[in-house]
Amino acid sequence: DTGVSQNPRHKITKRGQNVTFRCDPISEHNRLYWYRQTLGQGPEFLTYFQNEAQLEKSRLLSDRFSAERPKGSFSTLEIQRTEQGDSAMYLCASSLAGGTGANVLTFGAGSRLTVL
Protein backbone atom coordinates (compact mmCIF):
# COMPACT_ATOMS: atom_id res chain seq x y z
CA ASP A 1 0.00 0.00 0.00
CA THR A 2 1.41 3.36 -0.99
CA GLY A 3 -0.52 5.44 1.53
CA VAL A 4 -3.13 8.07 0.75
CA SER A 5 -3.01 9.32 -2.82
CA GLN A 6 -4.48 12.60 -4.04
CA ASN A 7 -4.91 13.86 -7.59
CA PRO A 8 -4.28 16.27 -9.09
CA ARG A 9 -1.52 17.75 -6.94
CA HIS A 10 -2.04 21.19 -8.39
CA LYS A 11 -5.02 22.75 -10.15
CA ILE A 12 -5.23 26.26 -11.55
CA THR A 13 -8.65 27.32 -12.72
CA LYS A 14 -10.60 30.40 -13.58
CA ARG A 15 -13.33 31.73 -11.36
CA GLY A 16 -16.66 30.10 -12.12
CA GLN A 17 -15.23 26.81 -13.33
CA ASN A 18 -15.87 23.47 -11.65
CA VAL A 19 -13.04 21.38 -10.25
CA THR A 20 -12.87 17.84 -8.90
CA PHE A 21 -10.29 16.27 -6.62
CA ARG A 22 -9.82 12.58 -6.07
CA CYS A 23 -8.55 10.77 -3.01
CA ASP A 24 -7.54 7.12 -2.77
CA PRO A 25 -7.26 6.15 0.90
CA ILE A 26 -5.40 3.31 2.50
CA SER A 27 -7.44 0.28 1.46
CA GLU A 28 -7.99 -1.12 4.97
CA HIS A 29 -9.21 2.22 6.33
CA ASN A 30 -12.94 2.72 6.80
CA ARG A 31 -12.95 6.46 7.40
CA LEU A 32 -12.07 9.16 4.92
CA TYR A 33 -11.77 12.86 5.72
CA TRP A 34 -11.50 16.05 3.70
CA TYR A 35 -9.82 19.10 5.20
CA ARG A 36 -9.01 22.51 3.76
CA GLN A 37 -5.88 24.43 4.66
CA THR A 38 -5.00 28.01 3.81
CA LEU A 39 -1.59 29.61 4.20
CA GLY A 40 -0.50 29.96 7.80
CA GLN A 41 -3.51 28.09 9.15
CA GLY A 42 -4.15 24.59 10.37
CA PRO A 43 -6.35 22.14 8.50
CA GLU A 44 -10.07 22.88 8.79
CA PHE A 45 -12.50 19.98 8.69
CA LEU A 46 -14.88 19.81 5.74
CA THR A 47 -16.51 16.39 5.75
CA TYR A 48 -15.97 12.73 6.50
CA PHE A 49 -17.20 9.33 5.43
CA GLN A 50 -17.40 6.05 7.24
CA ASN A 51 -17.40 3.46 4.50
CA GLU A 52 -19.74 4.95 1.87
CA ALA A 53 -21.86 7.01 4.26
CA GLN A 54 -21.17 10.72 4.60
CA LEU A 55 -21.62 11.19 8.33
CA GLU A 56 -20.70 14.79 8.97
CA LYS A 57 -20.32 18.03 7.06
CA SER A 58 -18.86 21.26 8.36
CA ARG A 59 -20.73 24.55 8.20
CA LEU A 60 -17.76 25.64 6.05
CA LEU A 61 -18.98 23.33 3.31
CA SER A 62 -21.23 25.49 1.16
CA ASP A 63 -23.69 23.98 -1.29
CA ARG A 64 -21.10 24.50 -4.03
CA PHE A 65 -19.08 21.70 -2.47
CA SER A 66 -20.06 18.07 -2.82
CA ALA A 67 -18.21 14.96 -1.81
CA GLU A 68 -18.84 11.35 -2.63
CA ARG A 69 -17.35 8.03 -1.70
CA PRO A 70 -19.00 5.41 -3.89
CA LYS A 71 -18.58 1.83 -2.68
CA GLY A 72 -16.59 3.06 0.29
CA SER A 73 -13.33 3.21 -1.62
CA PHE A 74 -11.99 6.37 -3.29
CA SER A 75 -13.61 9.74 -2.76
CA THR A 76 -14.13 12.81 -4.89
CA LEU A 77 -14.56 16.40 -3.78
CA GLU A 78 -16.17 18.67 -6.35
CA ILE A 79 -16.31 22.44 -6.14
CA GLN A 80 -18.78 24.09 -8.46
CA ARG A 81 -18.59 27.71 -9.65
CA THR A 82 -15.23 28.25 -7.98
CA GLU A 83 -14.48 31.54 -6.23
CA GLN A 84 -11.12 33.08 -5.41
CA GLY A 85 -11.78 32.33 -1.74
CA ASP A 86 -11.73 28.63 -2.58
CA SER A 87 -7.99 28.84 -3.23
CA ALA A 88 -6.42 26.50 -0.68
CA MET A 89 -4.79 23.14 -0.14
CA TYR A 90 -7.38 20.37 0.00
CA LEU A 91 -6.17 17.53 2.19
CA CYS A 92 -7.55 14.03 2.31
CA ALA A 93 -6.92 11.68 5.21
CA SER A 94 -8.01 8.20 6.13
CA SER A 95 -8.15 6.19 9.32
CA LEU A 96 -9.22 2.86 10.72
CA ALA A 97 -11.70 3.69 13.41
CA GLY A 98 -13.62 1.48 15.72
CA GLY A 99 -13.10 -0.63 18.80
CA THR A 100 -10.81 0.90 21.38
CA GLY A 101 -8.30 2.22 18.86
CA ALA A 102 -7.66 5.93 18.66
CA ASN A 103 -8.53 7.83 15.51
CA VAL A 104 -5.10 8.51 13.97
CA LEU A 105 -5.20 10.11 10.53
CA THR A 106 -2.93 9.32 7.59
CA PHE A 107 -2.84 12.26 5.22
CA GLY A 108 -2.23 12.51 1.53
CA ALA A 109 0.12 15.13 0.07
CA GLY A 110 -2.82 17.40 -0.75
CA SER A 111 -4.29 19.04 -3.83
CA ARG A 112 -3.50 22.72 -4.18
CA LEU A 113 -6.20 24.80 -5.84
CA THR A 114 -5.56 28.24 -7.26
CA VAL A 115 -8.58 30.17 -8.54
CA LEU A 116 -7.72 33.11 -10.79
Partner 1 sequence: SQQGEEDPQALSIQEGENATMNCSYKTSINNLQWYRQNSGRGLVHLILIRSNEREKHSGRLRVTLDTSKKSSSLLITASRAADTASYFCATDALGYSTLTFGKGTMLLVSP
Strands 111-115 and 10-13: parallel
Q: Does 97 bind partner 1 (CB under 8 A)?
A: yes
Instruction: State the nearest-atom distance from the C-beta of 3 to partner 1, in Å.
Output: 9
Query: With respect to partner 1, which residue has the nearer C-beta, 60 or 116?
Result: 60
Binding positions for partner 1, 49-78, rule CB under 8 A: 50, 55-56
Among 17, 41, 51, 114, binds partner 1 (CB under 8 A): 41
